Every structure is written in structure tokens, then in C-alpha cells.
Structure 1
Amino acid sequence: MTPPPPGRRRSTVHDVAKAAGVSRGTVSRVLNGGYVSEHAREAIQTAIREVGYVPNNAARTLVRQRTQAVGFIVHEPHSLFLEDPNIGGILLGANTALSQADYQMVCLVIDTDRDTDRVARYLSGGFVDGAVIVSARQHDPITDVVERLGLPVAYVGHPPGISRPWVGIDNLGAARAITARVRSSGRRRIGMIAAALDRDSGSDRLAGFREALGDDFDETLVESVPLYAFADGEAGMRRLLERAPDIDAVFGASDAVAAGAVQALRAAGRRVPDDVGVVGFDDSAWARRTDPPLTTVDQPAEGLGAAAAEAVLVQLSGGVADAGGILLDAPIVWRASV
């Protein structure tokens, strides 16, 4: 049997230096971002293309003790990861910021206890230099691992009791504002499908709803559901209608939840907005493809992801990120659903 031909030899810094007519030290300065003359830089870049040089990142990792990778950790079920456009937007924003800094993003989804254990081992193994964490809960094991390792991290959202850098929006204020706007339209029996109350975003949106209604707040018009999901919104709306058939407006804690509510109302023969007004939260694709389009709160998902990634990069460069948190604007978008 004829043995396979040997593989092509990997080009080295020496090959680049020889082709460019410069020293190896000059090539190393270019590769590591140091200063050289523009003429030398152009010659080296041309030589890199000619000899097909690819940096040995594994060797550079050993020298620098850096992986050039940042984890993107999402505490959500797999189904919601695919359904919720906000998660995708946050991911894309983070990836853009990391890519511009020449960092690789590693996506880690936590759905089960087994996922938690696996991700905890992965982080402890030193496979990433830092992490962006989405939908963290207080006292969850991943947060404990991150704290123990002293890993540079930034949270999207602000879990209670965590004093590390975070990026978010004023969920309470935005929920209060959109509820007040619905109330000013003349609606009086206003309910809420409150989702994800085990994290800061969900509990803050319910608190804002309660504040806006004041003495008119009615606990029986609040239906709690586990996730920011279409199916949960649909099921929650059915239960609200059974309990309060005279309801004339509902605030879905996310656009997906609100879209599910619209579906349940239509199935029950209720017209939106004629019989029941519906508002959501996020200004995601759900809001625009619902009929009628949803009044909602514009949550800047890509901006949140980018800002969180940039906070991690600041820490990796030796700087100090603001542990007091960064709040991005989240204005109301008024459409035809109320």
C-alpha cells in the first residue's frame, strides 16, 4: 500500500522574514501589534500572503497564558434560545465587539443541571479568558464559579447581590411608562402576563406595572408564567380570560408573550385592539409580525451585547469596568395594538 504524501510544511516567521527581507524581530513586532515603518509593514503583509503564513495561536496561548476566547453564557432552555430574538441580538452584538478585538466567542447554553456542571468544568479548565452572562439568577452555580475564578465578566441584566459589571435597561421604569400609556388610552381592566419572575428583568417589569396602576392594581389580573415564550403567553392569556372575562388590556412581559396573548384572544373571539389592547416588551421580530403590530418597549439587544463584551475587554486589558452598571435607553414604540 502506497503511503500518503507528506503534508505541506507549515510556514514560519523565518519564512516570512526571508520573503520580506527583514529580521524575524521585525516580523514579530508586526504580528504583536508593535511599531515598524509603513514600508516594512507592507512588505511583511505581502510576504505573509505569499508564503501562506498562519500564526500558531496554540503556541501564543502558552506564552501569553491567554486563550483569546470569551464565553457567551445563556441561562435559558434550548427552545427559548431559538425562539427569543433578543438573545440572538445580544449574541450578535457581543460577537461584533469581540471580533473587532480579535477575540473568539464561545457560546455556552445552560438548560439542565448537567449543562451547569459541564459549563462549570469548562470555565474552571481555563478555556476562556472572560465571559458575558445572560439571564443569570442569584446564587446560581455558574456565578459562584465565575466569582471563585476571578474571571473577567459582565452580565446582561443585574442579578441581585452581584457587584460585577453589568449592562441593562431600566425594566421597572419602562414597564411603568408603557402601563401608564395604556391606562391613559382609557383602558381600566388592565392585566399582565408576568414572565420570568426568578430574574431581575421579569420581577422589575411586574414592579413597574404595579407602580403605574397604584391603587387600581388588582392582583387577580396578574398571571405568572415561567418563560418569555409564545406558548406561555398563550396559556397565560387563556387563564386570565377565564378568571377576568371583562379584561380590556393586557401587558405581556415580552413580545413573544404578548404575541401568544393575541393568539389566545383571537381564538376566544376577542378583537385586538377593539375589545382588548395588548402591549409587549422588546420591539423584537414578534412585535412586527403580530397582527396588529404590537405597541412595545424598544430593548436595544445588540447594544446590550456589545456593551457587555466591551466591559469584559476592558478588564482583559487591565482596566476597571464600571461595577455600577450601564443603562441603555428603552423608549416606547406605539403601534396599532392599543
Structure 2
Amino acid sequence: MTSVEITERRKRATVKDVAQEAGVSRGTVSRVLNGQPYVSEAARSAIEAAIARVGFVPNRAARSLVMQSSQAIGLIVHEPHSLFVEDPNIASILLGANEALSEADYQLSCLIADSPRDVDRLARYLSGGLIDGVIVVSARAGDRITAAVAELGLPAAFVGHPRDIGDAAYVAIDNRGAARTITRRLLDTGRSRVGMIAAALDRDSGADRLAGFVDAMGARFDPQLVQSVPFYSFSDGRAGMRELLERAPDLDGVFASSDAVAAGALEALREAGRSVPGDVGIVGFDDSSWALRCDPPLSTVHQPADQLGRAAAASVLAQLRGDTAGSPIVLECPVVWRESA
């Protein structure tokens, strides 16, 4: 094969090539590619067959300029890289959103904000017209990404309910109510010295779970039995449990604000020679894969993370069709009781 022949084979097929192969005009090919009407079934079939024969791949960037649409939705996760990999809830939200977007022929673009530099970069990126809307996970109050989304008027849905998003769409669970319910269930087992490892208090989910714990404890609430940690992570759970045990060695119950935190707390209890649930009863939150990997398996709250992602994606797609953001969506999150308490 000559160099000229190799070059010809590597040359990207064009709309003109498809039109010639199918025996139709380039305008007819464009109408089919853009999903427009007024094309006969015979012509449509011929064009689809020609696309397969010449190996034509639509140029998304060029199409975006014409259609003023990228067919891409950004999923912004404001978490450290390590937590993005560790947290199964994030993966479930991502997969649920991707399923809904795929069904609508949209592409999911995953964007991680791990540092202030990432936040600045993403705020600039959002203004570039490369995505049509966003799903935002783990936003904090005062988040610059939230402000950028509002300034640009991007169709958006938040997973969770930061207090400063105005009337923007969001999908969530009742973190406060669920935390209150599972704490009361733990108290009903006869525990008298119940503490909490409270993670992520800079966002609505963490703050609401702490509020639910306080509600359930009532007059028995002791602020000395609450240990705050930065993230919903195994390592923070282990460190938080060690701190609690130093302050309150007579502790006999713990509400950990996520399953990953509870798994870390279990490790610290094991290191300290405490049995679960014999000496200490422990409950988590999420009903993630962490819950069943623990020994004993965790009593926890079921968070329908994949449904949260799917509902957020559906909300953004609805806004792109011209619908209003609509009412907030709050999904059920029942308690799942297992051996850890």
C-alpha cells in the first residue's frame, strides 16, 4: 500500500462522502443527522447504510456550533479525589444520571472539584458553552460553582439542598428525619451513652444528620459525645471514633453519619477491644456496599443514590426542553436494621 493510499484510508469521512454513497443531497444527509423531519424512509435507510459503509462519525463540535447545543451534561462532584473513588454513593449517583442521559442521547461529562484551583477552573469552564446543563453533587453553602451556575443561567439540578441555591431544582432525601429515626431505634435497644461521629458539617447532608441526632437525643443530648470530622470517609470514621473513646470510654452507642464513617469506627472499636454490638451498638447511613462489608453488617439508612442521579438528570433534561424547574423531589430513605446494633 502506498503512502497516498494510507492517507486516503485515514482521511475522515465527510457528509459529502455519505451523500455520494447514498445517492442523495448533502442537505438530506444533514437533516437525518440533526433528527429533522421531511426525509423519506427510503432515503433515511440509504443514508444510514452509507454512514456504516464509509465509517462516518459526526463532528460533535461542529454540530454544537450549528445547533447551539453540546448534547452534554456536566456532573460536578465537589469532593476530594480520594473520596470520589472511595464513596459508592457518588458512583451510584453517576450511574443513575448516566442511564437517564443515555436514554435521551446526551453525554455525561464528569467534573471533579478537589481544590480551590479546581473550583476556579470549573467556574471558567462552565462559561465556555461546552455543556448544556449541570448536576451538582456535594455543593456547600457559598460555593463558587453554585454562584457560577446561577450567573450563567445554566439548567441545573442539585443532589442535596444547599441553603443558598434559591429556587434552583434539587433532589434529596430527608436527612434530618432519617437520622432522627435511626437514632431513636438505636436508643430503643437500651443504650444510654450514645454519641455521634458527625461528618461533612459544611454541607446540608452532614448538618441535617447532626440536627436529626440532636432531635432524637432530646434532653439526653451531650455535645461532648459528638465528634466532628471533615469527610464521609473510612479514615475519618476511625480517627473520630478514637477521639470519642478517649473522651467517653463508657460510650455504648454510636451514630456514624455514613457507612464509610461507621466502617472506620468499627475498626477503631475493634482496636480498642470493644465488641459490636455487645459493648457498643453502631449505626450508619447510606446502605452502601460498606454496610455489608462490615462485620457485623451495619444497621443503616437506605439512600437511593442511583435514583437521586436519575431524578437530577431528568430535571435538567426537562429544563432544556423549556419546562420550569418544578417542585423539589424528596425520595424515601427507610431504615435497614442489621446486626451492628
The TM-score bracket by the shorter chain reads over 0.9
Per-residue CA deviations over 1:88-117 (Å, capped at 9, x if unaligned) read: 111111122222222222221111111111
| 1:185-224 superposed matches below 5 A | 185-224=189-228
Q: Which letter does structure 1 place at the counterpart of 2:54?
A: V
User: What's the counterpart of residue 250 of structure 1?
Assistant: 254
- Corresponding position of 1:159: 162
1:29-80 per-residue CA deviation (whole Å, 9 max, x = no partner) reads: 3322234454443333222212222222222111112222221111111111
Aligned residue runs from structure 1 range 302-317, under 5 A:
302-317=306-321
2:296 corresponds to which of 285, 292, 296 = 292
Q: Distance in 1 between matches of 2:113 and 2:171?
A: 20
For residue 98 of structure 1, the aligned residue among 97, 101, 106 is 101
Q: Which residue of 2 aligns with 1:11?
A: 13
Q: How does 1:40-119 map to 2 (within 5 A)?
A: 40-119=43-122
Counterpart CA distance in 1 for 2:72 and 2:162 is 24
Q: CA deviation at 1:243?
A: 1.2
Paired AA for residue 118 in structure 2: D
Greater Cα offset, 265-274 or 102-111? 102-111
Counterpart Cα distance in 2 of 1:337 and 1:56: 54
Aligned partner of 1:175 in structure 2 is: 179
Match of residue 229, structure 1, among 233, 237, 246? 233
Residue 149 (structure 1) aligned with residue 149 (structure 2): no
2:215 is paired with a residue whose SS is: helix
The answer as to 2:128 corresponding to 1:140 is no
Distance 2:244 2:60 in 1: 57
What secondary structure does 2:75 align onto? strand
Structure 2: 5+ residue runs without aligned partners? none
How far the C-alpha of 1:126 sits from its partner, in A, is 2.1
CA offsets per residue over residues 168-205 of structure 1, 9 Å max, x none? 10001111111111111221211110111110000000
What is the RMSD of the two structures over their aligned residues, measured on CA atoms?
1.8
CA distance in 2, matches of 1:225, 1:109: 21
Paired with 1:121 and 1:91, the residues of 2 have a C-alpha distance of 23
**Alignment correspondent of 2:322:** 318
In 1, Cα distance between equivalents of 2:16 and 2:93: 42
Higher mean C-alpha displacement, 201-210 vs 26-35 = 26-35
Structure 1's 3 and 49: CA in aligned 2 closer, same or farther, altered over 3 A?
A: closer
| 1:267 counterpart = 2:275 | no
User: Which one-letter code corresponds to 1:90 in the other structure?
Assistant: I
Q: What is the distance in 2 between the residues matched to 1:18 and 1:125?
A: 35
User: Letter of the aligned partner of 2:117 in structure 1?
Assistant: R
Segments of 5+ residues of structure 1 without an aligned counterpart are: none
SS in 1 for 2:205: helix
2:186 alignment partner, SS class: helix
User: Structure 2: how far apart are the matches of 1:146 and 1:116?
Assistant: 12
Q: Name the SS for the 1:33 alignment partner.
A: coil
Instruction: Count how many residue pairs are aligned between Structure 1 and Structure 2.
Output: 336
TM-score by length of 1: 0.94
Aligned partners of 1:234, 1:310: CA distance in 2, in Å?
A: 37
